Amino acid sequence: MPHLTRRDTGISATGAERLGFGVPGYAHPLLAPVEWAELTRPGTPLHWAVLNVADGPGTRPDPHCLEAAGRLRNAGVRVLGHLDLRHGSRPFAEIVSDAHRFLDWYRVDGYLLDRCPTDRADLAGVRRVTATLEVVLEHVDGGHLVLGHGRHPCPGYAEIADQLVTFSGPWAEYRWSQVAQWTADHPPERFVHLVHGVPRTHLDEAMRIARWQGAGTIFFTDRTGDRAGGRTGQTNPFAALPGYWDEIVSQIGPGVSE
């Protein structure tokens, strides 16, 4: 996997050397057809998109998700399966079973490990999971693992995955957030920021914060709600396109070098 050698080789874990998007998971393709179609637009600086069928792969292959994942693969977009670690409380066997379903049914390129623990005490357990997922992905070209902490974990987590989500939350918190000092030892493509409730008038400021804090993959949206989405009955702000999608795509742009 790239994270094992990237510090020495300089290889980009995202497959790009500039700021780009990581889509944490749109609504089901039947509910968000425009959103899924936008991911295949040529020239969109997209590092990966997460497929979350039903808080995981579901109990059987979903034909609409199969079609959406196939279109993304054909467009050269990396598709990640959503695995919920439940802050370290989910049984190991369940995680691995879901990983196999995602790979067998949807031919994913890797996984987002959502609600990943951050403490040093949980590191060994998460290392066991990522090591097993590397074996699951051994025949996948460019297999990719993202740890969805949502905040800065202890530094050891950077050694067991390709990327870490070191911020996931509202703009009101992001604009005053501080970056952990240890992240300076790693290049920007190792880190992901997912921010909701970003007003259009503060989009430039949000981009400056991401660059200043050393994030290589972002997703900003003006939509608001609860990141847990369906688990709480509230709206998941990342389930649909931001109102300024065209603007932010143009601002990053395929020709902009970071």
Per the structure, the count of domains in the chain is: 1
244 occurs within a structural domain: yes
User: Alpha-carbon torsion 55, 56, 62, 66, what sign?
Assistant: positive
Half-sphere exposure of 147 (CA within 13 A, CB side): 32
State the pLDDT at residue 228.
55
- Nearest-10 Cα torsion for 82, 86, 92, 98: -20
Kindly report the pTM of this predicted structure: 0.90
CATH of the domain at 143: 3.20.20.80
Q: Residue 140: pLDDT above 50?
A: yes
What mean pLDDT comes out for the span 75-100? 97
80 occurs within a structural domain: yes
> pLDDT digits over 144-194, tens only?
999 999 999 999 999 999 999 999 999 999 999 999 999 999 999 999 999
Segment holding 168, helix H or strand E: strand 163-170
- Nearest-10 Cα torsion for 91, 217, 229, 32: -120
7 occurs within a structural domain: no
70 occurs within a structural domain: yes
Give the domain extent around 138. Answer: 20-252
Q: Are 192 and 22 in contact (CB under 8 A)?
A: yes
Place of tokens 């952990």: 180
4 occurs within a structural domain: no
State which of 13-17, 68-72, 231-235 shows the largest mean pLDDT: 68-72
State the pLDDT at residue 57.
97
163 occurs within a structural domain: yes
25 occurs within a structural domain: yes
8 occurs within a structural domain: no
Q: What is the mean pLDDT of the chain?
A: 90
Q: Residue 256: pLDDT above 80?
A: no
Q: Rg of the chain over CA atoms, in angstroms?
A: 17
What is the percent of the chain where pLDDT is above 70? 88
What mean pLDDT comes out for the span 222-243? 76
